[in-house]
Structures are given as structure tokens and as C-alpha cells.
Amino acid sequence: MERVTVFLRTSLFSFGGPEAHLPVGVMVVEGNLVDRVAGGIVLETDRLLDERGRELSAAGLKIQLPWSKIDHILEGGA
């Protein structure tokens, strides 16, 4: 499994640095990439964060995210 951080919605964004921003309403999903499937990715989550980096949940989930919901993936995690 590959450790990844998945940023959802549009526009490139990040937590750190002078130009860092996350638009209101986005969600960040951190976890392990289990598989890349035709319609998206399968992810085992570690935690879910809001646009300010506040933890929404640390409950582990196994979810399939469609490519249409993913803006970009940061490999190696945050």
C-alpha cells in the first residue's frame, strides 16, 4: 500500500507556505492507497480534515473515490 493525501474538488491547494490555501468547503482525506481502479482509487483512510486542517474524523474507512472528485494526490502523505 502507498501512503497518500487526497485533495478533493478543484484548484491546487496545500497547508504550508506563504501561498498556502484551501478553499472553503473542501475536504482532505489522508490514508493508504489500496488500489487504482478504472473509475478512481480505493483508499483506507486515517483521518479526514476540513479546509483549515482541523480533524473531522480519525475513524478508519475504506472508500472508493471517483476520479471526478479528486483534484490531485500528494504521494508520501502530509
Quick check: 68 pLDDT over 70?
A: yes
Cell reading at 43? 483508499
Instruction: Output the pLDDT for position 12.
Output: 47
* Tens-digit pLDDT profile for residues 2-14: 787 877 655 545 6
pLDDT band per the 50, 70, 90 thresholds, residue 61? confident
Sequence-ordered list of residues with C-beta below 8 angstroms from that of 52, at least 6 positions apart, any chain: 22
The 3-state DSSP class for residue 36 equals: strand
> Which of 5-14, 43-52, 67-76 comes out lowest in average pLDDT?
5-14
Q: Using CA atoms, how far apart are residues 2 and 13, in angstroms rounded to an integer?
A: 21
Mean residue pLDDT across the chain: 79
